[in-house]
Amino acid sequence: MNILGKLFTAIFVVMIVLTTIISPQSKAVNDDQWNKIKARGELRVGLSADYAPMEFERTVNGQREYAGIDIELAKKIAKDNGVKLKIVNMQFDSLLGALKTGKVDVIISGMTPTDERKKEVDFSNSYMEVDQKVIIRKKDVDKFQTLDDLKGKRIGAQKQTTQEELARSEIQDAEVQSLTRVPEVILSLKSNKLDAIVLDSAVGTAYLKQNKDLTFSKATFADSKKETAIAVPKNSPELLDRVNTTIKDVEKKNLIAQFEDKAAEAMKDEGSFLSKYGNFFVTGLKNTIFISLIGVVLGAVFGALFALMKIGSIKPLKWLASAYIEFIRGTPLLVQVFLVYFGTTAVLGLDISAFICGAIALVINCSAYIAEIIRAGINAVDKGQMEAARSLGLNYAQTMKSVIMPQAIKNILPALGNEFVTVIKESSIISVIGVSEIMFNAQVVQGASFDPFTPLLVAAILYFILTFTLSRLMNVFEGRLKVSD
């Protein structure tokens, strides 16, 4: 026990040392941002596509595409500089981290250049001015006419935005509640969990069209006008210069007005919910099944390895396996997902896709749980079996292979099936880094349809169909195993 404690302390210390040595801050001046983009031939633009008319997703003839003012601007920057464009869609509050760790090259996401943010990143010239408004339920129009009326009320905003700040600074004693994505903010207001929300007026208008129970309040902010600019990593003068050149051109030719028209056109919706968004869910379903399978199958391979290490008699391996299993099972999957996603670039310097990062995180997570399943399965086989086999002259390996394992498998398989069901549900967590599984697609549809509720319902049904079918199959299978006893 004491040795185990020391081992944990050692691991902890090594981790602290690693993070301080390799933290992103310690990177030297990097003037080569632009060269990297040029060499790659691709500009990676980070944004949070929950913000029509600035950025959102839609389907055209069954094909998904990004649309909006920021998307048009991004396309122009890529075109002006002869590189391809890659949109990286993620949560708004993950964008700055992604830029700083090099996951994206620029952020074009309706972002306001605040003093706080300027400490972390640089900003281009402003390309748009936006206005901030309060949205309330229609039945409260008379009740909430001024900011004073909202004193002490529950006010919602998107996490880490200027709207959140505005709610704090201009509404007295506001009980500010921040949510990661705009549709969640809208849904919370609709379902009475909030009294009002702060949102960009153009974005608000887009959501109000689809949510007739909501409306703008007459209340106005003193500091409501905000600039919008493109964020680039610090010390990247060439990249900044190129971005600003495009912005100047946009201003000269008055292109923002054109971009707005195009976005408005793209926001018009035709067709039924399923015909428009069905294939988002199909993609999500496929990816959820695929990534959960990877999680369980590879998780079982590594899990078996860790289980054998833990059961075995080689002390260092035993400790290593125990430490791994305890650590993984003692930390949330959400944290592991972020650690893998940002760690692979910030610490290891690798450029790995979100899908692979998500898969790695799931495998790491599953292997720890499966290791315990396998260990328990083996331990559950009666001790006498080992003794009997050994006294008959079989060696340890032979006994394991022909006597213990065949019996252990019967304990392990059903538990593995349960683990699969768990993984299918848990895999929804990797939506946070932008892996296109069911939950992520539900969120995309929330943003595209301005309907925060229906997509969640569809997601819930899909998960249920998956897990229910799987557990039925497991039952049949377990029945067969019993018969063979």
Rounded Cα gap, residues 95 and 8, in angstroms:
33
Return the range that interacts with ligand ARG (CB under 6 A); candidates 5-13, 22-30, 47-55, 377-385.
Answer: 47-55
* Near ligand ARG by CB under 6 A: residue from 37, 45, 48, 123: 48
Return the range that interacts with ligand ARG (CB under 6 A); candidates 15-23, 37-45, 71-79, 107-115.
Answer: 107-115
CB closer to ligand ARG, 123 vs 306: 123
CB closer to ligand ARG, 92 vs 127: 92
Report the 3 state secondary structure along 41-103.
CEEEEEECCCECCCEEEEEECCEEEEECHHHHHHHHHHHHCCCEEEEEECCHHHHHHHHHCCC
- Quick one: tokens of 120? 């972390």
* Near ligand ARG by CB under 6 A: residue from 34, 50, 239, 303: 50
| Minimum distance from residue 48 beta carbon to ligand ARG (Å) | 4
| Minimum distance from residue 201 beta carbon to ligand ARG (Å) | 11
| Minimum distance from residue 111 beta carbon to ligand ARG (Å) | 4
* Near ligand ARG by CB under 6 A: residue from 33, 109, 288, 428: 109
Question: Pattern 372-411, binding to ligand ARG, x per CB under 6 A?
Answer: ----------------------------------------
Using DSSP, state whether 335 is helix, strand or coil.
Answer: helix
User: What residues between 211 and 230 interact with ligand ARG by CB under 6 A?
Assistant: 226
User: What residues between 233 and 272 interact with ligand ARG by CB under 6 A?
Assistant: none
Rounded Cα gap, residues 430 and 359, in angstroms:
9
What is the Cβ-side half-sphere exposure of residue 126, based on CA atoms within 13 angstroms?
A: 10
Task: Report whether the peptide linkage leading into residue 53 is cis, meaning its omega lies within 30 degrees of zero.
Answer: yes
Q: Kindly report the number of other CB atoms within 10 A of residue 165's CB atom.
A: 17
Residue 92 binds to ligand ARG (criterion: CB under 6 A):
yes
CB closer to ligand ARG, 46 vs 295: 46
427: amino acid identity, one letter:
S
What is the Cβ-side half-sphere exposure of residue 389, based on CA atoms within 13 angstroms?
A: 17
| Minimum distance from residue 360 beta carbon to ligand ARG (Å) | 27
User: What residues between 159 and 198 interact with ligand ARG by CB under 6 A?
Assistant: 161-163, 182
| Minimum distance from residue 117 beta carbon to ligand ARG (Å) | 8
CB closer to ligand ARG, 206 vs 458: 206
- Exposed, middle or buried: residue 273 (CB in 10 Å: 0-12, 13-18, 19+)? middle
Cα→Cα distances 374→125, 234, 297, Å: 58, 49, 13
| Minimum distance from residue 162 beta carbon to ligand ARG (Å) | 4
Return the range that interacts with ligand ARG (CB under 6 A); candidates 157-165, 190-198, 313-321, 322-330.
Answer: 157-165
CB closer to ligand ARG, 51 vs 342: 51
What is the Cβ-side half-sphere exposure of residue 148, based on CA atoms within 13 angstroms?
A: 0
* Near ligand ARG by CB under 6 A: residue from 34, 37, 45, 51: 51
Rounded Cα gap, residues 80 and 97, in angstroms:
27
The C-alpha angle with vertex 340 and arms to 111 and 374, in degrees rounded to 5, equals 145
DSSP 29: P
Return the range that interacts with ligand ARG (CB under 6 A); candidates 110-118, 136-144, 211-219, 382-390.
Answer: 110-118
DSSP 128: E
Residue 137 sits at φ, ψ, to 5 deg, of -75, 145
Nearest-10 Cα torsion for 76, 82, 87, 88: -130
For tokens 């328990």, the residue is 376
* Near ligand ARG by CB under 6 A: residue from 33, 101, 112, 449: 112
* Near ligand ARG by CB under 6 A: residue from 68, 110, 358, 455: 110
| Minimum distance from residue 463 beta carbon to ligand ARG (Å) | 26
Residue 72 binds to ligand ARG (criterion: CB under 6 A):
no
Count of residues engaged in binding ligand ARG, rule: CB under 6 A: 17
- Exposed, middle or buried: residue 304 (CB in 10 Å: 0-12, 13-18, 19+)? middle
Residue 97 binds to ligand ARG (criterion: CB under 6 A):
no
| Minimum distance from residue 110 beta carbon to ligand ARG (Å) | 4
Residue 278 sits at φ, ψ, to 5 deg, of -50, -45
CB closer to ligand ARG, 56 vs 355: 56
| Minimum distance from residue 91 beta carbon to ligand ARG (Å) | 9
CB closer to ligand ARG, 158 vs 178: 158
Q: List residues near ligand ARG by CB under 6 A.
A: 47-48, 50-51, 54-55, 92, 109-112, 158, 161-163, 182, 226
